[in-house]
Amino acid sequence: MTTVVFYDDARARSFEPFASIRPLAEMRAGTALVRERWAAILPPHEDTWFIAGDRLASFDEPGAARAATGVVPTGTIVVNARFVPAVPADRGRALQRSAASSLWRANGRLAAIRLRSAVDVAAFADGTLTLDELFAGTGSISDVEGWWHEEVWDFIRHLQDQLLSDITRLATTASVDTFEPPPPHAVVLGGHPVLIERAPGGDDGGAVVIEPHVVLDASAGPILIQRGTRVRAFTRIAGPCHIGRDVTVLGGDVTGCAIGDVTKVRGEISTSIIIGHSNKGHDGFVGHSYLGRWVNLGAGTITSNLKNTYGTVSLWTPSGVRDTGMPFLGTMFGDHVKTGIGLRLTTGTVLGAGANVYGAMPPKAVAPFSWGDAPPYAAYRADKFVETAARVMARRHVELGPRAREHLMAAHAARWSVERHR
């Protein structure tokens, strides 16, 4: 079986507030994680690894890739994790092409290669090694469709196109037994597909439950709701939109979003991504934002996603504050972020992983593991943070194991400073 390694190059390692806490392969893009999207077009593989620098050496998550060590063997497929492939219209044909391929090309650039000789993981240490340098010569080429992510905000920039592509192709390729029609008591609008995932083997426990007085508006794009999800009355879901497995939608307006598994959402949320296992269980607008795992938004947390001047939004990055060129952009919430009730977040806010902020309105960039209601923030004590994280995860029946604890402690010790990176 083939081994696949996802490589976070130097550019990917600047995608804060996520890059210092999780590899890019474990980020959600459209309806799936980056790793899962590549699995649909690459040959079957048992071993999946990532290379993202020493700071993620102990990253550990159920089902996720793990940090590669030692030597990457000959024949390994090395993927640039900043490329997000489209779901193939014909997966069988895509897999057939991949089996004989040595190069995967996207928009004239190498997105993945098959190693001709072994390479020490140390060669990738600073992220400057390119796939072109690793593959000198020619080979059988697969051209793949998809999206390059040059900046962290590209996850939001490409979201609508990815959802439209993903769900439309799924509607045309999936088995007729995979989905069922919406219940007759739901109001369905528009002509795009509405896909309700059928519970496996007729298992009622895994069925989607859509209560009366739910509106599924497929006027602007398709909708995908996966098994185990419950949508309560007085919810409006507008496509293109993906609601993952075991999600609880408690009411409100969900438009153009990718909601990951085991998440709770309520209120108005628009053009946003949630990796999964997060909680927006109360009212409050969230727009054009990205929520990592284990995020909890306090009641009434509100993001702004449009400036009063209607100009483009600037965002803090490790290389300084930069113009995104996007008129709509909300907040980037790193993993394990917690917000207090009534928190207001201005356009283009970055909340580092593990931050616990409350009060009125924080600055546009808050360092990881900050604690308080106004700057200068205190540092969240590492032992207290890990204790809380374990408690939060246990509520979703996920254990914070020793390796994951080590990763969080290491992330805390290596936390970046907003001032140092300006």
Domain boundary among 123, 150, 177: 150
pLDDT value of position 260: 98
Rounded Cα distance between 371 and 253, Å, is: 31
What is the structure's pLDDT at 176? 79
pLDDT for the residue 204: 65
- DSSP assignment string, 320-336: EEEEEEESB--EEE-TT
Indicate the burial class of 137 (C-beta count within 10 angstroms; 0-12, 13-18, 19 or more).
exposed
User: Are residues 30 and 169 both part of a single domain?
Assistant: no
Q: Domain for residue 422, yes or no?
A: no
Are 161 and 35 within one domain? no
Co-location of 82 and 214 in the same domain:
no
> Has residue 317 been placed in a domain?
yes
Residue after which a domain boundary falls, among 84, 119, 150: 150
Q: 3-class SS at 36?
A: helix
pLDDT score of 240: 98
Residue 203 sits in a domain whose CATH number is 2.160.10.10
Q: Are residues 210 and 346 in the same domain?
A: yes
Q: Is 317 left (phi over 0), alpha (psi -120 to 50) or beta?
A: beta
Q: Phi and psi for 225 in degrees, rounded to 5? A: -120, 120
Residue from 271, 279, 281, 282 nearest 295 by CA:
279
**Within-domain flag for 419:** no
d(CA 391, CA 305): 32
Same domain, 210 and 61: no
The span from the CA of 354 to the CA of 345, in Å, is 17
Residues 242 and 145 in one domain: no
Q: Are 391 and 56 in contact (CB under 8 A)?
A: no
Query: According to the model, what pLDDT value does residue 139 have?
Result: 75
Same domain, yes or no: 331 and 239: yes
Instruction: Give the position of tokens 């769900």.
Output: 167
Asked which of 112, 128, 150 is the last residue of a domain, the reply is 150
In a shared domain, residues 163 and 310? yes
* Domain-located, residue 351: yes
Predicted pLDDT at 422: 46
Residue 260 domain-assigned (yes or no): yes
Q: Please choose, from the candidates 268, 214, 218, the residue with its C-alpha nearest in 3D space to the C-alpha of residue 241.
A: 218
**Where do we find the tokens 């590549």?**
38
Q: Which of 355, 377, 352, 350 is nearest to 365 (CA)?
A: 350
Report how far residue 230's alpha carbon sits from residue 213's, in angstroms, rounded to the nearest whole number: 13
- Regarding whether 228 and 193 lie in a shared domain, the answer is yes
Return the H-helix or E-strand segment holding 395.
helix 382-395
In a domain, 365, yes or no: yes
- Of the candidates 265, 240, 263, the one whose C-alpha atom is nearest the C-alpha of residue 253 is 265
Domain count along the chain: 2
d(CA 13, CA 10): 5
Strand ranges, E, within 146-227: 146-148, 179-180, 187-189, 194-197, 209-210, 215-217, 223-225
* pLDDT at res. 203: 63
On whether both 177 and 275 belong to a single domain, the answer is: yes
Distance from the first to the final alpha carbon of the chain: 45
Domain of residue 94, residue span = 2-150
pLDDT < 70 stretches in the chain: 136-138, 202-204, 420-422
Helix (H, G, I), strand (E, B) or coil at 175: coil
Q: Are residues 186 and 105 in the same domain?
A: no
Structure tokens at 200: 């496996």
Nearest to 28 by CA among 291, 230, 317, 307: 291
Q: What distance in Å separates the CA atoms of residue 243 and residue 249, rounded to the nearest whole number?
A: 9
C-alpha–C-alpha distance, residues 269 and 253, integer Å: 6
Is the pTM above the cut of 0.85? yes
Whether the CB-CB separation of 87 and 170 falls below 8 Å is answered with yes
Same domain, 86 and 195: no
Closest by CA position to 19, among listed 329, 422, 416:
416
Look at residues 133, 125, 23, 134 and name the one whose alpha carbon lies nearest to residue 75. 134
Residue owning tokens 């088995």: 175
